[in-house]
Structure 1
Amino acid sequence: MIEGLQVLDLAVHEDARGWFKEAWQRTRMTREGLPDFRPVQSNVVHNATAGTTRGLHAEPWDKLVTVGTGRVQGGWVDLREGSPTYGETHTVEIGPGTAVFVPRGVANGYQVLEDGTTYLYLVNDHWSADAQYVNVSHTLIDWPLEPVNLSEKDAALGTELQPVPPRKILVTGANGQVGRALRKVLPDAEFLPHADFDVTAPPERPWRQYRAIINCAAYTAVDQAETDAATAWHVNARGPAQLARIAAENNLTLVQLSTDYVFDGVTDRPYREDDAIAPLNVYGASKAAGEMAASTAPRHYIVRSSWVVGEGRNFVDTMRDLAERDIRPQVVHDQKGRPTFASELARGIAHLLEVEPEYGIYHLTGGGDEVGFDELAMAVYTGLHRDPDMVQPVSTAQYAEGKELATRPSTGTLDTAKIEATGFVPQNWRVGLALYLL
């Protein structure tokens, strides 16, 4: 059996007038295991003569096929690149009581078994002359009748298999810390920086040929956002709203990155996903609004993190630079949390897209103990063989004196039990730091 090809039994209700069936019933069929493939077009083919053979065609969309009258022998060959059943074939007879779900990339064909057969199929994308179509010879299937009425194009097809690439993943904000880390775990994704893809005004794309959008684009200047609120809200709230609309319309999964700054820090335990949000600054409020916007996409993962460290400007690199210059920095001791290395964040995002647990919010940070920024700085100095006592702990109030800084939560530690229940175990941040400092 071809992986993902599903044969469904349909209830046919008959009486003296004829019969009735539900050829597509979303609630029941998805409950029975059919993907919620969101069809956008219904097609009907009337076939006058038994033996008429059509295919094999692998169009860039999913199909649900059945018959209105008569019977056909359905035939399929798996052309999906990387599929465990690549090259395998399958056949089944389709009458009024049968429907078959055909995944994108599986070449579909059929042979008419009765004169006057009407063949019906639903698809989840519209035909386009610019789309990629991969077709293969009908001779790969052992048909019950001698094939007749082949089209010229079908008769000329060869038997050599051409792989159909999978639907793509698009990553926005590709030059940020998480975007750069994702390149290593999702090398086949499409990575677009702001210059090529503005999330606040997304350019047109063949969205039905994508399966997910990972939004790494963000306005992250926490202090600057206090006087540049319009820009922060434009990027962090309007951007996710635009992407959520695209995701909803095209049945895509949207991954939206968020932050512990959506909380007020007034807690005596790590924050869980269902805790009430109460941001203290413009940046946190704009990210909270982005979460709400992203949640309007039926298929969404909102990934909250904290203290991200990766390729680009970050706290650990700043402390590394100061340590290597033997500078004694003042670092706040009363803001607590856990560092998250961008490599771990990327690995967790890839895990969610692969395992596909329940949609919703997930906390994803480094594992291990809760620390203050001063303790993290001391760990950096120790890792670089410098005296950790060079780090001078100060209170937030002392550090902020004379500066115009946004109010920050005193505790941003996030509970990662929910994502751990899906099979993802975050790396201890101290291990991540040791590896990062090599």
Structure 2
Amino acid sequence: MVPRQRELVGAVQGRRRGVLRGEGPVSEIFGKALQRIETPIPGLVLFELPVHGDSRGWFKENWQREKMVALGLEDFGPVQNNISFNDAVGTTRGIHAEPWDKWVSVATGRIFGAWVDLREGPTFGAVFTTEIDPSRAIFVPRGVGNSYQTLEPDTAYAYLVNDHWSPDAEYAFLNLADETVAVEWPIPLSEVEISDKDRAHPRLADVTPIPPRKILVLGAAGQLGLALRKQLGEAPHIEYATRADLDVTSPSLDEARRWRDYGLIINAAAFTAVDLAETPDGREAAWSANATAVAAISRIADRYGVTLVHVSSDYVFDGTQDDAYSESAPLRPLGVYGQTKAAGDLAASTAARHYIVRTSWVIGDGSNFVRTMHSLARRGIDPRVVGDQVGRLTFTSDLAEAIVHLYRSKAAYGIYNVTGTGEPASWAQVAKDVFRLAGREPERVAAVSTEDYFSSAPGPVADRPRNSVLDLSKIVASGFTPRPFSESLAAYIDHLERNAE
């Protein structure tokens, strides 16, 4: 034992005797209130824990899910509890960052802990140090390097983790003696035993940062998928997949990805051919894409703590309500498409971290109603358009922005309606506006009833909701207000006009 260690052991033994008599600084571990303390490293949160004790010993709730969640700590879903027992003062463990979260505490003894942010981003290299005794614990998010030095003999260092070790995971390590981070160890590193592996770890300049948790966008080739690509960009941790890239109904879906590495799945994929869904083959395809696939994704998201965004539709309602539909309105779908979307909503809600985003009348890049009307206007064709279905257009740029807002702002999980704002209009009125914005006579658009419009349809026709207006109070209260759809429509037509051949 080196002289410094003997000095610490003697001090600790006297300190322990003082605790048993209710004296000295360690007695301060008793009677603390549960408290959350932020640190300079984002997501690294220190907790003061109530410890109840007397001369016989003490008791504490080391991890109490309900109380921790109430203090703003996300339920991180621990799956394993590990304990590292250290019999000597000065035991020093290296700075290791793993791709999972930790809840670090001490059952007996005391440590000096050092944490270094090894994640990509502006806080890379940030440092936080403090002592941890039985009255303290710290939540360590994935990618933050964790290390400690024991200050008392017989220290039991414990940690909960929310994933199992895997050789395929991405790890980062930092040298304990890194000059940039410059951790002020209580016992100099020259006086303690350090493993050969820890001594060989790189300096900060040579550390490969741990990337953010991955984002997976399903339905990447659709109108919303394309808008999400513009919104999220092409960062390495963002993946865009079509059904050809990833079959979410496959029995081997659980092994298709290392799902714990994902933070967000956006399900922008759907079977949207509402009339075709009324045919035998279409019914099967609609249920497969809109319900079965959603159930499979939801199971993955729930099991691995991934946030799921599922895009839904006004078709989950029958459209008979006089006013706008709120998120809590009862489901009353009319046709097969609406029924499968309603089933998908119920499946998505089984994931603990879910956003169900209901929308209507979606317009983006690709084939859609507005493009069709613009083409007819330019070609001199006078259309007949349904005039007794009312709603608001939703431009995919708004929808993509709202989805990202919900995730990044950590809005309360649940259902959110997202459409453009403004006075609702019929399809016929939208068509008239398209003609007007394209410099054509709006009167060329003839408004007809839904029954008249589909009277000569060659195949099955799905029932459509007459009222598709969604109440937007909840998404606005979350801090996001969509643009008026009339302004978005004007910009959209201007773009089409400028790019017309």
Q: Is this a same-fold pair by TM over 0.5? A: yes
| Whole-Å separation in 1 of the counterparts to 2:130 and 2:331 | 53
| Whole-Å separation in 1 of the counterparts to 2:157 and 2:167 | 23
- Higher mean alpha-carbon deviation, 195-204 vs 405-414, is at 195-204
- 1:145 is the counterpart of 2:187: yes
| Whole-Å separation in 2 of the counterparts to 1:203 and 1:88 | 35
Offset of residue 203 of structure 1: 5.4
Which residue of structure 1 lines up, in the alignment, with residue 21 of structure 2?
none
- 1:64 is the counterpart of 2:118: no
Aligned partner letter, 1:215 = N
| Whole-Å separation in 2 of the counterparts to 1:314 and 1:378 | 16
- Does structure 2 conserve the Cα–Cα contact (< 8 Å) formed by 1:383 and 1:434? yes
- 1:107 is the counterpart of 2:152: no
Which residue of structure 2 lines up, in the alignment, with residue 95 of structure 1?
133
| Whole-Å separation in 2 of the counterparts to 1:384 and 1:397 | 28
Aligned-residue CA RMSD (Å): 1.4
1:433 to 489, 495, 500: 489
Aligned partner letter, 1:99 = A
1:119-198 map, 5 Å: 119-139=157-177, 140-147=182-189, 148-160=192-204, 161-187=207-233, 188=235, 189-198=238-247
| Whole-Å separation in 1 of the counterparts to 2:245 and 2:170 | 23
Which residue of structure 1 lines up, in the alignment, with residue 439 of structure 2?
385
| Whole-Å separation in 1 of the counterparts to 2:264 and 2:42 | 21
| Whole-Å separation in 2 of the counterparts to 1:30 and 1:388 | 56
2:362 to 286, 296, 308: 308
- 1:328 is the counterpart of 2:328: no
Aligned partner letter, 1:253 = T
| Whole-Å separation in 1 of the counterparts to 2:70 and 2:473 | 28
| Whole-Å separation in 2 of the counterparts to 1:248 and 1:302 | 14
- 1:2 is the counterpart of 2:34: no
| Whole-Å separation in 2 of the counterparts to 1:412 and 1:424 | 21
- 1:12 is the counterpart of 2:51: yes
- 1:408 is the counterpart of 2:464: yes
Aligned partner letter, 1:186 = L
- 1:395 is the counterpart of 2:454: no
The Cα offsets for residues 179-222 of structure 1, whole Å up to 9 and x where unpaired, read as 11001111232111110112323352111111111101111000
1:21-100 map, 5 Å: 21-83=60-122, 85-100=123-138
| Whole-Å separation in 2 of the counterparts to 1:280 and 1:225 | 12
The structure with more radius of gyration: 2
**Alignment gaps of 5+ in structure 2:** 1-39, 496-501
Which residue of structure 2 lines up, in the alignment, with residue 199 of structure 1?
248
- Superposition TM-score, scaled by structure 2 size: 0.85
Aligned partner letter, 1:382 = R
Which residue of structure 2 lines up, in the alignment, with residue 232 of structure 1?
286
Tell me the percent identity: 53
* SS of residue in 1 equivalent to 2:247: coil
* SS of residue in 2 equivalent to 1:424: coil
1:245-324 map, 5 Å: 245-324=299-378
| Whole-Å separation in 1 of the counterparts to 2:476 and 2:133 | 46
- Does structure 1 conserve the Cα–Cα contact (< 8 Å) formed by 2:218 and 2:240? yes
Which residue of structure 1 lines up, in the alignment, with residue 398 of structure 2?
344
- 1:215 is the counterpart of 2:257: no
| Whole-Å separation in 2 of the counterparts to 1:378 and 1:197 | 41
* SS of residue in 2 equivalent to 1:230: helix
Offset of residue 6 of structure 1: 1.2
- Does structure 2 conserve the Cα–Cα contact (< 8 Å) formed by 1:172 and 1:199? no
- Higher mean alpha-carbon deviation, 196-205 vs 138-147, is at 196-205
**Alignment gaps of 5+ in structure 1:** none
Offset of residue 14 of structure 1: 2.7
- Higher mean alpha-carbon deviation, 421-430 vs 202-211, is at 202-211
- Superposition TM-score, scaled by structure 1 size: 0.97
| Whole-Å separation in 1 of the counterparts to 2:77 and 2:321 | 42
Which of structures 1 and 2 has the larger relative contact order (alpha carbons within 8 angstroms, sep 6+)? 1
Which residue of structure 1 lines up, in the alignment, with residue 6 of structure 2?
none
The Cα offsets for residues 123-168 of structure 1, whole Å up to 9 and x where unpaired, read as 1111111111111111231100123221111111232243221111
Offset of residue 19 of structure 1: 2.8
The Cα offsets for residues 277-300 of structure 1, whole Å up to 9 and x where unpaired, read as 211111001101110111111111
* SS of residue in 2 equivalent to 1:321: helix
- Does structure 1 conserve the Cα–Cα contact (< 8 Å) formed by 2:254 and 2:300? no
* SS of residue in 2 equivalent to 1:414: coil
Which residue of structure 2 lines up, in the alignment, with residue 365 of structure 1?
419
Higher helix fraction (1 or 2): 2
- Higher mean alpha-carbon deviation, 44-53 vs 212-221, is at 44-53
Offset of residue 46 of structure 1: 1.5
The Cα offsets for residues 329-382 of structure 1, whole Å up to 9 and x where unpaired, read as 111111111110111100110110011222111110011111111111111111
The Cα offsets for residues 94-128 of structure 1, whole Å up to 9 and x where unpaired, read as 11111111111111100111222221111111111
Offset of residue 5 of structure 1: 1.3
Q: Report the number of matched residues.
A: 437
| Whole-Å separation in 1 of the counterparts to 2:407 and 2:340 | 25
| Whole-Å separation in 2 of the counterparts to 1:8 and 1:421 | 31
* SS of residue in 2 equivalent to 1:291: helix
Aligned partner letter, 2:476 = E
The Cα offsets for residues 15-45 of structure 1, whole Å up to 9 and x where unpaired, read as 4543332221111122223221111111111
- Does structure 2 conserve the Cα–Cα contact (< 8 Å) formed by 1:357 and 1:422? yes
- Does structure 2 conserve the Cα–Cα contact (< 8 Å) formed by 1:51 and 1:146? no
| Whole-Å separation in 2 of the counterparts to 1:39 and 1:145 | 32
